[in-house]
Amino acid sequence: MFKWSERQRSRGGTGRQLAVWLTVWAAVGCGGAQAGRPIELAANEWQPYTGSDVPKQGVATQIVRTALQRAGYAVTVRFSNWPRALHSTYQGGVDGLVAVWSTSLRSERLLFSEKYLENRIAVVGTAQRFVRVQRLGELRGLKVGIGRDYDYSEEFLSETGIVTQPVDHALQNLLKLTLGRIDAAIEDRLIIQYNIVRHSAEHPQLRTVILSNSDVLVLPIRLGIRKDLPDAEAIVRDFDRALSDMRRDGTLKAILKEWHIVP
């Protein structure tokens, strides 16, 4: 299980957290050259996992690009919001998605790789009005901020009674929380900590945001490739093989260490 290190899981943004992230940005640097069979992938602005404004376009992009380059592919990533990234993939505009959660509906159109990261989804609230829950069902009747078209999991899709309010970026949910416009939000722990650290100088009220102790969902992150590509199975197979090699030779562990993610 991947998790944010204990010293970085405390509520709010701190000087220590900011220093850590500044070190990460300086150390991770920029991507290298590519060669081989071209493959174009879509991703959303989902920092620090994927993003056009973070080093190496995010930790998920770095892992996927490294594995595919090892397998002989030249990777290009096109960034947009999540609904557009998903639509572009389904319509054949790109070959696949850098980071996606598997659902039965998505599996009709996508082939999924093995898990290379995971999202630990927590309930997010503020110190003034925190909703203490351990299961999704306990959010019924509440206004809950979510990611637009994220779908999350079969468990989430089958849950009724939650009044969802979708947005395109986690920061929007955090600000809505501090304004009392929603009761809670569900979001990945690392994404929340990243946004608090990056934006708390501009929005100091973000320091009142806190996370639940337990996760309401744990979702594997996978590479998703369009099923209608002639070589879709080969791409996924090549990726999984390269990912296995990265686990064995320590490359994956080294990438996670750069981003201060503890396996």
- Which domains does the chain carry? 23-117+221-262 (3.40.190.10), 119-218 (3.40.190.10)
- Residue 250 CA neighbour count, 13 Å, CB half: 1
Percent with pLDDT over 90 in the chain: 77
Q: pLDDT tens digits, residue range 123-141?
A: 999 987 777 787 888 999 9
Q: How far apart are CA 193 and CA 170, in angstroms?
A: 11
**Lowest mean pLDDT, pick from 2-6, 33-37, 107-111, 258-262:** 2-6
Higher pLDDT, 240 or 36: 240
pLDDT band at 200 (very low <50, low <70, confident <90, very high): very high
**Lowest mean pLDDT, pick from 45-54, 109-118, 207-216:** 207-216
Q: So what's the pLDDT on residue 29?
A: 42
Q: pLDDT tens digits, residue range 217-262?
A: 999 999 999 999 999 999 999 999 999 999 999 999 999 999 999 8
For the chain, how many residues are written? 263
| Average of per-residue pLDDT across 178-182 | 95
Q: How far apart are CA 88 and CA 42, in angstroms?
A: 8
User: Residues 6 or more apart from 53 whose CB is under 8 A from it?
Assistant: 45, 47
Given a cut of 50, is residue 13 above it in pLDDT? Answer: no
pLDDT band at 16 (very low <50, low <70, confident <90, very high): low
Q: How far apart are CA 120 and CA 117, in angstroms?
A: 10
Q: So what's the pLDDT on residue 107?
A: 98
Mean pLDDT for all residues in the chain: 89
CA dist 129 to 28, 76, 163, 165, 208, Å?
A: 37, 43, 17, 18, 10
Q: So what's the pLDDT on residue 21?
A: 52
Q: How far apart are CA 101 and CA 116, in angstroms?
A: 11
| Average of per-residue pLDDT across 82-108 | 98
Output phi, psi for 144, to 5 deg.
Answer: -120, 125
Output phi, psi for 207, to 5 deg.
Answer: -70, -10
Q: So what's the pLDDT on residue 17?
A: 52
pLDDT band at 33 (very low <50, low <70, confident <90, very high): very low
